Structure 1
């Protein structure tokens, strides 16, 4: 059974449900027979969510209280490029505005989400998964470049690892996990041959949900790839 580790009627929340992977998560979860409901939030949802606005995060969390507790929360958000910038290849390309915006979306927003949503997690079993990236691994960095994106994902991993230590004491059945989706055919990867070398978002979501299903409380604070491989920090 898909997601058999979750109880009958479990509730799921997908953040960033307008993106390719977020939409795929929602579709997959809606097909799980014992899922009691899937809430999908994004900038245009009800409640709306803007990860760069702390007040928006707080208001969304307050509005979501009536729909919880949540057994599964998946944060499928991320920023690699915009019409104004691409990932930096050299130190000389670093600019404050790009670094700040990248950290606001990739690190600060998910961190605030975790802080506000942790009280809404189910006590019997809960998994809070955030999309990280293998390029955020300091130990695996062999190519360099992509300064802001790499650093923001590495910082996100540290937030998650630190929170896992705290929640292990307070909510021992909660698992926090950083998920590496691999290369997916999406708007994020499109400028980097994503459509040629990436996997369909539906497959990536299916693989990551299988990983989520296998996690136990002792795995909290892990950095895991879509194929179950444990990644170095």
Structure 2
């Protein structure tokens, strides 16, 4: 997809949701860093010019001089700056948290948010530390999708245990026998032993301590 061409020649036709979709494509697609930075700046220029067009300026003639219609303003700016008034303006780089919030907003509007979120993380290769630092940005259904994408540490699982979906955790996450015993009341043993991913779910790989614990609970697998 030639995003630069779309932004330069079709900017009048793009809605805000289109701009957000293009931002996600830039952040997840196979483009050079220079191309990505340049296209992000074009998107910011479009938004800036639209915002300026909404401002009340004293006199139509002055307004047209300062802010001509987008169709008369070709978007050919250098990759390092924006120049709506002719002077160089350096835009601050969005933070990782800001990029994530923007990307999630677009993903949630798709027909298959869970699938799109999984593809997004496959491409961006974000790790547990990033998820931990930005955990509040995700909603409940996205917590489920995250556990299908990542094998989290027990430290992470402990920290967010009360808000994570326990059925998904039981089936998708690796954790110790001790973790299972500690959270036995919340982790369905049928899901953990029959459908989980831990090596000790097989009887021959279990410790005698866990075997005794399960027998006392009336669980026989």
Q: Which of the five TM-score ranges fits, normalised by the shorter chain? A: under 0.3
Which structure: larger Rg? 2
TM-score (norm 2): 0.26
Q: Which has the higher strand share?
A: 1
Give the helix-richer structure, 1 or 2.
Answer: 2
User: Taking structure 1 as the reference length, what is the TM-score of the superposition?
Assistant: 0.25
